[in-house]
Amino acid sequence: LSRIGKNANAKSMPDFLAIRFQSPLLRVLTALATIFTIFYIAGQFAGIGLVFVEAMGINYLLGVIVGSIIMTGYISIGGAHADILTTFVQGIVMAILGIMITVFVLVNVGGIVTIDRTLIEIDPALSSSVMFNDPMFGAFTGIAIFISLGLFGLSPQQSKLFLALNDEKNVTKALLWGFAGLSILGLVMWLGGLGSRIMFPD
Local confidence pLDDT in tens for the 202 residues of the chain: 677 777 777 767 777 788 888 888 887 887 777 666 666 678 888 888 898 898 888 899 998 898 888 877 877 776 667 777 887 888 889 889 988 988 999 898 888 889 889 988 888 888 888 877 877 777 788 777 777 666 654 455 566 677 677 777 787 887 788 778 877 888 888 888 888 888 887 7
Residue 144's pLDDT is what? Answer: 77
CA nearest neighbour of 188 among 101, 65, 129: 101
CA 135 to chain centre: 23
Whole-prediction pTM value?
A: 0.58
Instruction: Give ∠ CA 147-153-157 in degrees, rounded to 5.
Output: 145
pLDDT at 154: 46
Residue 88 pLDDT: 83
pLDDT for 156: 53
Task: Give the pLDDT of residue 60.
Answer: 92
3-class secondary structure per residue, the chain = CHHHHHHHCCCCHHHHHHHHCCCHHHHHHHHHHHHCCHHHHHHHHHHHHHHHHHHHCCCHHHHHHHHHHHHHHHHHHHHHHHHHHHHHHHHHHHHHHHHHHHHHHHHHCCCHHHHHHHHHHHCHHHCHHHHCCCHHHCCCHHHHHHHHHHCCCCCHHHHHHHHCCCCCCHHHHHHHHHHHHHHHHHHHHHHHHHHHHHHCCC
By the 10 Å C-beta count (0-12 exposed, 13-18 middle, 19+ buried), 29 is classed as middle
Per-residue model confidence (pLDDT) at position 158: 64
| Angstrom distance (rounded) from CA 67 to CA 199 | 32
What is the predicted pLDDT for the residue at 67? 85
